[in-house]
Every structure is written in C-alpha cells, then in structure tokens.
Structure 1
Amino acid sequence: MNPKGDRIRIIDRAEKFVRAGRLNEAIAEYQKLLAEEIPDPTILNIIGDLYVRLGEVNSAVKYFRQAADFFESRGGSSQALAIIKKIIKIAPEEPEHILKLADLLCLQGYTREAEKEYLRAAAIWRRQKKLEELIPVYEKIVALNKENTEPKLYLAELYINQNRSKEALIQLNEVAELLLSRQEWDKAHSILERAQEVGPLDERTVGNLIQVFKNKGQAEKALELVKKVAAEAPENLTFRYWLGNLLLEKKEIDQAEKIFESILAERPTDVRARVQLGKIYVLKEQSERAYELYEPLINSLLKKKKEDKAIGLLGIVLSSPTMPLAALEKLADIYKARNERANLEVVTRAILEEARQRKLKEKMYAALADLMELAPKDEEVSREFWSLRRELGLQEEPGRPPTETDEEFEELLARADIYIHQGLYRNARRILENLALQRPDDERVRQRVEFIDKARVEVPEEELVLRVEKISAIENEIEKRPGGARSFLSFLRETGALDEKVTSAEIFHGTDLLPLTVTQPAEMKYYELTEKITEELAAIREAIIHQLQKGRGAEEKELAEIILEFKHQAKIKLGLEDYETHFQLGMAFLEQGIYDEAIEEFMISAQSSEKALESCTLIAEACRRKKDYAEAIHWLEKCVELCRSDAEKLHAIEYEIASLYEKLQDRQKALSFYQKILSWNASFRDVAKRVAALQRAS
C-alpha cells in the first residue's frame, strides 16, 4: 500500500466529481483524507468551499473553523484570519466568529480594527438581549483602549446589573482618574457620585473625591466627606489618616496630632501616620521629639539598605529651626558609610555650628577633627581646631615641637602659598620642607608638596634674574604689611589674583610686583565655605517646611527630591514653550535615575512636534526602567502613531512593544508583533529567533 499514491488517486477522483458537479461525492472523497493523524487545513478549506456551493452554510462554517483553528495553533494567524473572514461573509450575524476575527486582528497588532469588530459583536448581542455575553466582550474592548471612557462606563453598568460591585467600582474610578488627569473636574465628580452609590465607603472612590474637591477649591467639602466616612467606618485607619491630613492642611495642628497619635496607638507600625506626626512635631518646633519618633523607622530603613528614604526622614527633622545634634550625627554616619565626602562636609559643618551655639566643646572638637580631614585647606578650621585642642588641655601630637606656635606655622604656610602662586616653587619647597619637619602629618603641607612635584617646570637661564628680583619684591611686600604673609595672601585673594594665572599685570596693580610671563600650571584654590553652607542649609530648611505644610507623603521623599522641589520655582521660569530645555532636563533626570521627574519634563517637550517622537520614546524608556511595562507600552503606542510613514522606525518601536509584552508574560501579543516585523524584514535584529522561541513555548 502506498499512502502517497492513495492520496493522489483520492484527490483525482474528488476533482473529477467536482468537475462533474457531483459535489457530495467530491466531499465524501475529500473526507477520506481527513482520517490522517494530522488533518490537512487545505482539505478542510476545500470541503468548506464545496459546502458553500451546496448552500449548506453550517457545514461550511464547521470545516472553515477547523481549518482556521489549525492554522492558529501552528502560529499561522494570517491564514486563520483569511479563513475567518470567509466565514463572516456567509454568516455575518454570528458574534462568535466576529469575536474570533477581532482576536486574530489583535494578534496581528491591528487594535483599532479589532475594537470595531468587538463593538460589532457586542451590538448583535445587545439586539439579541444576551447581556451576559457582553461582559467578556467589553472587558476586551476596555483592555484595547484604556483612554476610551464610554466602554468602561458601559462595562461598569453591566457589572452593577450582575451584582459585581467591586469590578464596577474599579471601572468607575479608572474613568474618574482619567478625567482627573485631563482636569475635567465636574465630569470626574459626576462619575464618582455614581461610584459612591455603588460603594459609599470605597477607599479609592473617597480618595478620588478628595482630589476633586481640592482641585475645585472646595477643601471644606473634602473635610466634610472624610469626617462622614470616618464616622461611619471608625475602624478604617485610611479614612482617619486622610482626616488628619486635611486637618493638618487646614492648620488645625492639635486635632491632626490627636488623630495621628490614635492611629499609632492602634497600629504602631503605620509608617504614614508616624511620618505625619513627626511633621507636626517639627512644625511645633519639637524636633527632638520628631527625631525620637522617626529613629526606629530610620534604623529599619538603614538595615534594609534604603539610605535615601532614611535621609528624607532626617531632612524633615532637620528642617526645624533647632536641628537635633543626634539627627545631624545620624546623617553624617550615613554619608560617611556612602563615602559622600561633599555631603559629609556640609553636615559636619552644621554639627559644628549647632555644637558651637550650645557650647558643647567636645562635640565641637570631634566635628573640627573630622573637618581637618575633609577640608584640609580650610585655614579657619585648622586654627579653631588647634586653639580648641589647647583649650581642652589635650597633648600635642607627636612630632609637633611645643615651642612652635600655630601663628608662626600659619604665617609660613601663607608665605609658601604666595611663592607657589608666583611660580617660585623652589622657595616654596624649602618652607614646606621645614614645616613638614614640625608637623609630618599635616595634610595641607603634604598636598602643597605634591602639587609642586607635579607642576615643576624648567626655568630658562635668562629668567633667573627676573626670579631673583621677584623674590625680593615679594619679601618687601610682605615686610611692609602689618599682618605679614597672611595679610598679603588675603590681599591677593580679595583682588582676585588667586583666581587667575600670573600673566595678568592688572592683578598686582598698586604693589611693587611685576608678574612673570612664564605660563604656569593651574593654581590651587582655597574657599571659605561657612557662609555658603549656612545659605544652603537655610534653603533646604525652607524647602522642607514648604513640603510639610503641603502635607505630601514624605515617607517616599528623598533629600534629593526635597532640594529639587526647592529649585522648582527657578525651573518654572523656563516657560512651558522652552521645549529643548525641558527635554535636556528630562535627559539629565533619566541618567540620574530620577524617573518621575524625567517623565514630567518629557511630557512637556512632547508637545513640540519636533520633539514629540523622541520624548514619547524616552517616557517609555523611563517607564521600562521603573518596571511599569504596561505604561511603557502605552507611550510606545503613541510613538507608533507618530511614525507610521517611516517603516524602519515603526518596526523598531513595534519590536520594543513586543519585548515589553514578553516582560508581561503575554506571549500571544508579543508573537503577533514579532510576526508582523518578520513579514516585513526577516533579518531585523533577532526577530526570527524570538518568533521561533515563542511558537515553541505556545
């Protein structure tokens, strides 16, 4: 027996019957071929066509559907789609087949066309009054277009009719939140009133109503609502928390304090209430109490390696006019562990200032000792450190002769700095070598010697005379001044001489010096930071107090965000139309991992037609990094609309969408996008491998 030969003979007989118009005999012959282990979809399709010619629609649909299902199971969604369209031509009022068409269109990425087919099927079922069949259809419609409110509202009503209140509330609140994002307050209010009818004590509904009232300038109504629901559900701590927040915003601090204390009494682990209560203590200038409240939470965050959130809480405490030393020391410990020397220096200087105001000399000494290592060039710190050391009666360090006074040391160091600035390295080295013998561990001496070693240049013989004359001029200038070398060094700094190279004669106007024309390496600069730090701390304090008064969720705030909030007013001056600047800000935020701020900037730059595509792409990238893959897909779909005329860009974006669907474990949608790209260019990236892998997995 030859199976292949038998098949050929059967097909020949069937075709003869077809030519003779004996369609039933032809069908009988073709059906013999379906006895094989794997049915042939081509034969199924032929049988379906023959039944169409006989006018037997139901039989035709049966065989067409078998062929379509076979193609779909093997990843041939395009062939399946073509056959389903044949079914709909002969059975246009059958919603089951229309839904299959819509499903296949989704797989192919034709979401708009799919939505139309879903709506067509839903319309037929509404006419047939099969309302129970509508829910799964509308669930698919809603999933396709999250910004279309009408299907969501219809689905919500279907849920309500089926006593599925929980699902109805989800849809109603999603619509309300979409309207809130569009600033359509009245429409959102109307939807939320319907949601309240369904679930009067639903937290999400109440929370959204609070936002509506606030945006409409009706804070009293928000407070009235929350008082009502809190009274009806006294066990609901979320309602009580919102009530505390609204009272805090209304400056009714004592009432808010009682509410947050009651929440903590029932649930000591409630982070939100603990943070808000701490903010109240800060507003009442009880910063020590606030730190005591936050300390367990801060320690817990540090154990979990969430240093940034711990810093945010410390920032709230330190916004008080009186900064607790314990909080400053905890912040210093964090920066020390993270090796953030610049931040550590700022905090250590704040510790020094607080300790100085409280006349805590031991803490002053500890802070000064740290600053000696953090800011070795700060001469004021050095002087205060050695003076306090003597005042405390501490022994001199080994290698420091007791006969050498600090004043003499600082005078010689200033003289060395002048020589370094003027390029007289040999003279400076001699002074520094002597100072090193007196204080071998002095960091400032060591740094200057290292600088000279790196900056040494060969002096031409013809300039030696000029050098000698210059040394004499410097010595004369130093001797003329009552304060000696340090006085002359201060003069050079005040005139800006130390901020420029020594080639400008104007720097030395009014002195006996004539600067050399030899180009020297860049000079070291020494800055007085005390005033700057005081300004920065005041600015940070002001920003945090502003944040406290706004009542935002500070448990999620980082110190960097607090500072960004303070700088927001400056950013506003850019103007919304300065799209390029907003775009660059977004790039900076994205690179630093500050994704929400990046998205905010890119949303502004996306309003420019020139920046729209790139901005939407970067918003999607920020969402991807946040692992919000669904939102990333949403923005990439906007990109698709912007670049339909550019096939290369279009398919690159579709590739990204497919990869995100893989992240969401939605293999079918991922496969449909990859197959679309494959049909355009089989060599595009690794699309062929991805299609094969997904087909094997399914």
Structure 2
Amino acid sequence: MGKTEKITELKIKAKNAMTKNKLDEAIQLYEKILSLNAEDPVTMNEIAEAYKKKGDLNNARKYLWDALEAYKNLEYYPNATAIAKKLLNLGEDELEIMEIMADLYSKQGLIGDAISTYYGLAEKFMKENDIDGVLTTYKKIVELTPKKADIRLKLADIFVSQEKIDEAIEQYQEVEKIYREQGRVDDADQIKMKIAELRGEAVEEAPVQPSEAGKAGEEEFVFEQAKPVFEESKETAPVEEAEPLVEEEVAESIEEELISAIEGEDTIVGVPQPETASVEKAVSDWMDWVTLAELYESVQSIDDAVEYYTKAADYFFETGDYERAEELYAKISKLKPFELRPIQKLIQIALKTNDKSKAIEAYISLHICLKKRGAEEEAQKALEKALKIDPHHPVLQEYFPELAVQEEVKEEVKEEKVAKEEKKEEVVAEINFEELLKEEEEAISIKLQEPTPGEENIDYLLEQFKEKIFENISTEDFSSHYDLGLSYKEMGLIDEAINEFKIAMRGERERLKSLEMLGQGYEDKGELKTAELIYKRAIEKETQKDPVKMLAFHYHLGDIYARQGKLKEAIKEFKEIVEIDPEFGDVKEKIKELSKQLMKSAPTKS
C-alpha cells in the first residue's frame, strides 16, 4: 500500500472514530497521518477538533496554530482566516488574532475588512491608553492604501500632536512624493516647506502666482513653529458658505480644470483630449459635473469621480430633482461602500418620495455599512427602522430570513388573539415617514464640532483619521467574501459563513450561489424554516429569468420537505427538476423512494 492510500485509509478510520465519539482513538489515528505528512493543515484542524471535544484546549490551540501557519505557507488565506477565528473562539489573545486576521484579509483583497479589523484593534489599544499601539496600527492602515495622500496627511497631523516629529516627517515625505508623481508641483512644494519647518530649518516661501492670487475660497499654508496641535491639511479649496457659487462660476471652474488637463497639467492618460474651444462651449450646466465625474471614473480616478458626482447629486437633491440625485448617490455608494453620507441621502430621498421599498433597501445598506465600521448599536437602529416600515417586505426578508421566520411566529400568536382588521391598523400606525425623515435629516446634519485652533485633542484627530479612512475604501470584492464564507462553512464556523454570504449576495455574479449557501448555512444550524424561506423566495423571484439555475434550490427545498415528513411537497419539488433535467443528481431515486413511503403511509381502504 502506497503512502497516499495509507493516509486515505487512516483518515476514514479517524472520521469513523470521531463519529462514534472515540476521541483518543481518533487522536492516535490523526497523529499517524501527521507522521506521514507533517504539513497537512486539514489533519491539524481535525485533531484540534478532537482535543477540543475532549476538553484539552491547550493541545487544541497548539494544533490550530500549526494549521494556521501551514495554510499561510500554502497561501490558502480564506482557510487561514477561518483557523484564526477558531483560535479567537478558544480564547487566544484577541489583539494578536485581530492583527493576524487583518493581515489575512488584506492578502485576500478584502481591504475594507482589513481596515475595519485594524480599526477595531486600534480602538482596543485606545481603551488601554496605548497611544503607541494606536499609531502603529494606523500606520498599517495607511499602508493598505499607500497612494492616498489625504489619509497620510491626517496621520501626520496625529504624529505632530503627539510630538512624534520624525514619524510625521516620514508621512509628509510620502505625501510630497505622491504629489510630485501626480504633477501637483505647488502642493508638493508646500509639503516640502512644512517638512523644513518641522525640522527647524529656514524656509523661503514660494512666490504666489499672479493668476492664482485672490481665488475665492483658497487658503495659504501658514507654517508656525512645530507644536503638538492639529493643523488640517486641505487638498482642495473649500467653497465659502457665505457666498454660494452661481451656475456661471461653477462652469468656469470646470472649464479651468478641463483646459488645465488639455494644456498638460494633471492630464488624464488614455483619454482623448478635446479642443479648447469645444470645452469652453460644452461647460454650461450642472450635468458637466457628471460628465467630468464619468471621465475620472473611466480612468479609475475614483476619489475625483466621487467628488464631482457628489457636487452634482447635492445640486439635484437641493433643487428637488430626486430621480437624478438618487441615481448619483447610488453610484457614489457603490464606489465608496463604507461612506455613510450617500446612503443617508438615499434614505432621505426614499422617505421624501414615500417609496417604502427603496427606504428599506437603503436602511439595509446603512445597517451593513455601520456593522462593517464597528458601529453595532447604530447598525441595529438602522435595521429596526427598516422593520418599522414593513417587517414583511421581501427585500428585508431576503437579507434577514431569520427575522421573517420570527415575524411569522409572532403573527401566528397574534391571529389567535386579535382580529385581522385590527392587526392591519396597528402595522400602518407604526409607519411615520415624516418622523423618520426628520430623524435622518438630523442625523446627516450632525458633524464633528470643529475645535478652537490650538485646542485640538487626540480624540478629535483620531475621529478625523477614522472618517478619512472609511471615505477611501472602494468597492468590495464580493467573490472573496463568498470564498471566505465557504472556508468558514467548511470549518464549522456557520454564523461567520452566513455573514460572509450575506455580503457576497450583494454582488451580481455571486447573488444566486450566495443565496444557496446561505440556505445551506441555516440548514447546518438546524433552522430549516429559515432555509425553506430562502429557497422558496429565490424560486419565486428567479425562476422566470432562468429555470435551470433554480434546480439546486428546488432540490434543497425538496430535501427539507422530506426531512419534515412533507412527502407530497417534496415529490412536487423533485418533479420540477425532472421536467427540466431528468439526469439531475439522484432526483429520480428520491422520487421513487418518497413515492413508496407515501404509499405506505396512505390509509388502506376497508
């Protein structure tokens, strides 16, 4: 017998021993496997599970650590992440595990998850008053988005406030390099002057260009002697609220930017440059913000695209063109899924237009966004608002099927006590769109209070850094979330798998397969009614689009009915499959077996 065959035989015996709860025998068999293949992370995980069941947590942790390293060496990062979760559940050091998980997320391209985890780690350091731990973690966050100058500037401000001048200079030097790569020579020179000022060197201020002098809203950099205070760096000049721009002035600013691109400043590579005269003629209304945003988006300059989409969306919102505003805020939210403002504006639009479905969808997006940002309490409030509008809404039930099942149980109890008409009145009475709109308008208007210059504290600086970080997280990789969900499920981390599938199902390509795995996750938890609801809703919603893709959902639903003893319903689901694909799995055998059971259970005629 060869080595591979021997390992396979031992694994079968070990699994049988685990099934019979013969833990010592299973452990011995797993150890034999590892003696033949010392780098097998699957066996390491299984022997850890045996030790855990036995109550020997020290050995369980030891083998899980071995499995973690083995998966990392193999670059199986989703599996390594699942092992790290297991270690966390067994009580290993939370800070250490969070740092490992953040690194693993980044290796999978899940930058949003990596940043959220690092931010959670920084919060824990903050609670322990470990400012060095906070700053070290923030440096790691910055390295996840190395070309984001605005984030580095915020971190530099924090370093200055803590009198860590060398670290601040390091960040400013990186910003200067980024600006020069982008052709932003004036900004780079200003940063260079700041570095010199922090070093205590004599600085000769760069002369102001006559064409730039007196532009509305622009501020000069004023460098004072280095001291532990916050000085907010601006990449773009703010518009003064006291004198709102008229349409003509806005058009001129777009014209200047486009002409600047044509003449070689900040030229967008790969995009045909129009004639100057045509630009002057074209820049005439607010839709030019959208055109410019689309231009930036086409060359992956997402920050600039979002800036101009936001200008246009805000204009349409303020002028009551909610359809256009909604379209643009939705686009912004897709480009920046961790940014709260566009989602809040979508909620406002839905409430202003009395669109129940869109309000619920936006509240669900807000719930997911807040959860990813670590704001659990606020996330729960967003979900409660969606439930308040309509707890039975299909969109809500799709993302939170367990809540739908709970509502069904509640309704069954209510129907025994309350008349149907009274129940309807009660639900309608709970919906108050005006009240919800007022809450959302108040929420979106709350901003971090600007401190008096010279009195900025570390809490303010950290909050500024946090907001800048989440503003810069771009579109999520739904495929990676799906893969991670599979790894969690494979390792028995069902709740974690369910969370990943809920995120992945927001991706167009991952939607159906994530829904299927979501149902299987609830089946693994023994929550058959929830799984049943997921499969039924998918079939109702998707069958007309592509019946073939629904075959697996019919199969799972039939299987659930069979387990519940609903033989007729199960046979019906399996026959739906045979009509489209007679060779699908073991569906013919299932129909035959269930039909026999149904005949046996049928009452005999006397």
Structures share fold, TM-score greater than 0.5: no
| Greater gyration radius | 1
What TM-score do you get using the length of structure 2 for normalisation?
Answer: 0.35
**TM-score after normalising by structure 1:** 0.31
Which structure's relative contact order is higher, taking Cα pairs within 8 Å and 6+ residues apart? 2
